[in-house]
A and B are shown apart, each in its own frame.
Chain A
């Protein structure tokens, strides 16, 4: 029986063809372009006609005072985001789980998932307006005698705005995975805890939280891969020249090098460095996740 079927596996390979062709063209296709990082790129000579200069671009990159600052900005913003993005969804999921009225629970869920689906372009339009010096947030603070704060133009406030709006956008959606994990906790554990006289709070501390521990660990290990991802969309849409010094991250810097300064070699070199480090971190993250939480993506 298998013989006839085996001879038909070509149909399965055929199904892979269109997708694999596009993957090779558009995802593997750009990889040779990485040699730009090792060349003195002259557009008229093309990528492969330009002179090899070895690690010159990398040496230049390291000597550039900007690159140290930009690497640090990226790491700083990304790590703060990981730290602040982690507790809120857990808290909200636990609290949602304590809600007995299904309608209320569903309504809150509907509302808190919403920001996840809106683009940073749209959200930046709203936030830049809300937090402007004459915007309604400052008007509200004015009622308490606070002087107008330039949230978007002051490096000190701007970083906090980045973190706060990122948490705001994502906390609701991130609760989904924790809510799913809570559903998987054995009901009888709660029943026996109630028998032993545990109140709501004690049930949360002794049953829900330990029950969530594997998922929390999983989310944390996987977030290792995003240590160099400070959020291009968000930063690029919200920032302005006043806060470049602290808010410029690797991705926005590469964009400016490539499209404003037309410095393709330096842009490629920095992008390559980011990809390599990011790749290593993601692989480490997946390895750890596989070892400790039995997680695998395929």
Chain B
């Protein structure tokens, strides 16, 4: 088709203006996304800056995202506080034990459930029993009463056992194993392997990526949980870190300035900020892994035909 010179020119204009619009869109888009990103890290940077500032500027709310009169004294004070150290220890302990229990049970249960009901009679019953309690729970009071009646109050087991089987994770692992090619297992059976052998030598090594995802899910869950500590522990010495932080933030912490008084550049605000930031550190350290595996996990768990 032949075009006149004039039409050619208008076309040229249209393309040029479209390119401009495209560039404008790109600029606005980058700006918007950069703002969204900044908004998400702002609170973290702010709390870090306050924790590294001197008492004066912090109390006057002059700290935004950069420390004013930089000092490590708040951290020195925090790490000399017995309740903080103890609760940090409780959190580490529950996280290590909890993650181990969650991962082991999830890996163990995912394999049998990945079988068909034909191969494993009773498989569907297991699934229904699990899904039912995933969707219907007895609620706070009966669960608390049970833990109390089992004499688990004030023990680490109260924090680990009620959530020992993360049912959603079990389903995730089950679906992952279902996607593995059946042939490898068949070959192993011909060689005389038992189910147990198959699980240990084939399924477990192949499930590493999904197990890693579960480990991280459960790590975040255990590290961040605070509510069970609050209800199942009568003694504040047994509080996990997040429960302890809850009492600090809600100003129920009567000992807030005790030995911290010997640090000149520390006040309630910087001390609280240093404790809050310390509570995030394990999450921040794991963050590169969290991001990678959580993305896989959520995609695996959500978009399943």
Contact = CB atoms under 8 A, between A and B. Distances in A.
A47 B142 CA distance: 10
Given A31-B138, A104-B30, A275-B137, A115 B40 contact: yes
B195 A108 contact: no
A268 interface: yes
Interface residues of B, number: 100
A283 B136 CA distance: 10
Interface of B, secondary structure class, is helix
Interface centre among B22, B175, B190, B226 (most CB of A within 10 A): B226
Contacts of B141: 33, 36, 254, 258, 264, 267-268, 271
B61 A96 contact: no
Given A126-B43, A127-B43, A298-B175, A26 B162 contact: yes
A23 B132 CA distance: 11
Contacts, number: 261
A272 B41 CA distance: 39
B300 to A, nearest CB: 10
Given A15-B111, A200-B25, A294-B305, A274 B164 contact: no
Contacts of A295: 304-305
B80 interface: no
Nearest to B196: A11
B167 to A, nearest CB: 8
Interface in A257-298: 258-259, 264, 267-268, 271-272, 274-276, 278-279, 282-283, 294-298
B224 interface: yes
A126 B145 contact: no
Interface of A: 1, 5, 8-9, 11-13, 15-16, 18-20, 22-23, 25-34, 36, 47, 92, 95-96, 98-99, 104, 107-115, 117-119, 121-130, 134-136, 139, 168, 171-173, 176-177, 180-181, 199-201, 215, 232-233, 236-237, 251, 254-255, 258-259, 264, 267-268, 271-272, 274-276, 278-279, 282-283, 294-298
Which 9 A-B pairs rank lowest in CB-CB distance, beginning with the nearest? A33-B142, A271-B139, A111-B37, A30-B138, A119-B224, A30-B142, A12-B112, A27-B133, A125-B249
13 contacts: A9-B119, A30-B146, A33-B142, A98-B26, A111-B36, A122-B242, A125-B272, A135-B61, A172-B36, A177-B299, A258-B141, A259-B231, A278-B136
